[in-house]
Amino acid sequence: MEAAGLGANFANHDGAMFYNNAAGVPWTAAYIAAKGDPIADLYEDIAAEEKARATYQWLIDLTDDVDIQDSLKFLREREIVHSLRFKEAVEILKADREQKKIY
């Protein structure tokens, strides 16, 4: 287990999931960036999707295994679609913000 890089995880958590990044840094709620303004929050989401897209591209560039590349390309494209949908939501909110409200 130690040689496979799993010793500390299993010593502390047995078979349970323990969320950390590729560098071994544990997940924290500080990773969640929420301002409370829907447009600002959507821009944060767009940035996260673009970072994920870049990460998938780096991983694609690191391997010559076509099957792994295909899987990573699918995931990369999914991040692009998510980013586009968030951008559309921003435009919807901006248009709504500019409309006169009658109550």
Give the whole-angstrom CA distance, residue 87 versus residue 73.
21
Give the per-residue pLDDT at 6: 65
Domain that holds residue 24: 1-32
Query: Quick one: 51 and 97 in the same domain?
Result: yes
Query: Quick one: 17 and 48 in the same domain?
Result: no
Total domain count, the chain: 2
Check: pTM over 0.85? Answer yes or no: no
Query: Quick one: 43 and 26 in the same domain?
Result: no
Query: Quick one: 13 and 51 in the same domain?
Result: no
Output the CA–CA distances (angstroms, integers) from residue 89 to 32, 34, 74, 93, in the order listed. 19, 16, 23, 6
Query: Quick one: 65 and 81 in the same domain?
Result: yes
Question: Is residue 74 a contact partner of residue 57, using CB atoms and an 8 Å limit?
Answer: no
**What's 44's domain CATH number?**
1.20.1260.10
In the predicted structure, residue 96 carries a pLDDT above the cut 70: yes
Query: Quick one: 59 and 84 in the same domain?
Result: yes
Give the per-residue pLDDT at 7: 67
Give the per-residue pLDDT at 90: 97
In the predicted structure, residue 5 carries a pLDDT above the cut 70: no
Query: Quick one: 59 and 95 in the same domain?
Result: yes
Query: Quick one: 40 and 28 in the same domain?
Result: no
The amino acid at residue 18 is: F
Give the per-residue pLDDT at 79: 97
Query: Quick one: 85 and 71 in the same domain?
Result: yes
- Convert the pLDDT of each residue in 39-75 to its tens digit: 999 999 999 999 999 999 999 999 999 999 999 999 9
Query: Quick one: 54 and 28 in the same domain?
Result: no
